[in-house]
Amino acid sequence: MADILDTARRIHFVGIGGSGIIPVAEIMHALGKSVSGSDGMESDNVNRLHALGIPIVMNHSAGNITPDIDLVVYTAAVSPDNPELLEAARLGTPVMERGEAVGILTGRYPRGVAVAGTHGKTTSTAMLSQILLEAGIDPSVYIGGRLPLINANGRAGQSDLMVFEACEWQDHYLEMSYTAALILNVDADHLDYFGDLDGVIASFRKFAARAETVIVNGDDVNSLKAVEGLDAPLIAFGLSESNDWSARNIIYMNGSYGVFDLYHDGIFFNRIEMGVPGAHNISNALGVAAAAHLCGADAGQIAAGIKHFRGAGRRFEFLGEKRGVTVIDDYAHHPTEIAATLKAAKAMNFGRVWAVFQPFTFSRTARHLGEFAEALSLADMAIVSDIMGSREVNTYGVHAKQITDQMPNGQYIAAFPEITDYICANTREDDLILTMGGGNVYQCARMILERL
């Protein structure tokens, strides 16, 4: 199967609009393959692929799989009884899950940087990609969100280097090939698969053990547990001055945009101005700087790339401003991410911060009910919609209202139209509306912006 990505002339992607599969489609298209796809709903990703001339059908049907298709790639969110997968099996067409395809792709590059961590993977992979692209290093990239610099999630470069987001879910990153591993942090997530935090740490240890060099968050206890005793050289980053890469003399501009002195091995490296807000992104930038330096970027190129990077799609993404009200969308779907995002937002120059949160997956919601309530309580007002179950069935008996019942400032409103009505009737000048979640809550953000 490993050779089929090279030999296949026509590749069909099932669920082509998904954030994990679209960069594979973009890379295959850039390499001259005939790409087609199907999806269940219109999205920005689908529209962008349409603009490239890629034919996409907005339904899943056996008729989408024709005999001239050489390979079918599907996202893990697609069920085994999907009619396109069944038709491919009937025709004898090779079928490959997206994770396997990414594993094969990454194996094509002699140098690879795998960016992993429970939080911040997409932002950090995009930031690293921006630095290297601006520096002329020309990597291939695979990102779980759109990088505005290239208006894509994925690209095929001409160098021997690939930079890619490495997701821990179901150990997908263990299928990838890489020479350097960047571990941003390790937290309790995807516990439906890992069981508990120790299971997460054990997985990251397997991930780190496969790298020639490991760049690790030296301030994060769980990350250090994951790499303890490994033979590979370790490069530590963090706010503590004992790390190989550290930040000193931190100040914040406009409330939340960090400016600091970057030190490498105790020696001043460069002055860094962040283009994305929040203390958590300073930590991300330190790991990214270490990775960029390992890839050949110099101090000036690293500082310039970090300053120019304004975020990835759905990562504190500014959508617009109307009547003095600002609307921003973010992918935060775990309590730690929500808290970091809201702290950054609260430090900015807004009158009030509204959080509109769509819980993503029943298992995560059930396990973190109290933590979601605590994190969302950082907002001035918080609205929680119905849970988006995605690939899961609600065997947990969990409901979104169980979050807001624990909050003094929260209310449950089931659907986006009603949320839009409520916010537009109650917002005022200088408010920030911040939509958050791993599902399609960005649609609510756009509805609000249209109605304001």
Distance (Å, whole) CA 99 – CA 441: 25
Q: What's the rounded mean pLDDT across residues 353-375?
A: 97
- Looking at residue 77, its pLDDT comes to 83
Per residue in 251-307, pLDDT (tens digit) is 999 878 999 999 999 999 999 999 999 999 999 999 999 999 999 999 999 999 999
The DSSP H or E segment spanning 73 is strand 71-74
- Looking at residue 99, its pLDDT comes to 94
- Looking at residue 250, its pLDDT comes to 97
Per residue in 40-77, pLDDT (tens digit) is 888 889 999 999 999 999 999 999 999 999 999 999 88
Check residue 388 and report its DSSP letter. B
Q: What domains can be seen in the chain, in order of their start residue?
A: 4-96 (3.40.50.720), 107-308 (3.40.1190.10), 317-451 (3.90.190.20)
- Looking at residue 2, its pLDDT comes to 73
Distance (Å, whole) CA 345 – CA 369: 22
Classified as helix, coil or strand, 237 is strand
Q: How many C-beta atoms lie closer than 10 Å to residue 27's C-beta?
A: 25
Q: Look at residue 379 and tell me whether its pLDDT is greater than 80.
A: yes
For the whole model, what pTM was predicted?
0.93
Distance (Å, whole) CA 110 – CA 161: 7
Check residue 175 and report its DSSP letter. G
Mean per-residue pLDDT over the chain, rounded = 96
Closest CA to 306 of 322, 290, 321, 285: 285
Please calculate the CA angle 139-143-145 and round it to the nearest 5 degrees.
140
Q: What's the rounded mean pLDDT across residues 13-19?
A: 95
Q: Look at residue 1 and tell me whether its pLDDT is greater than 90.
A: no
- Looking at residue 295, its pLDDT comes to 98
Phi/psi of residue 305, nearest 5 degrees: -65, -40
Lowest mean pLDDT, pick from 88-97, 278-287, 352-361, 388-397: 388-397
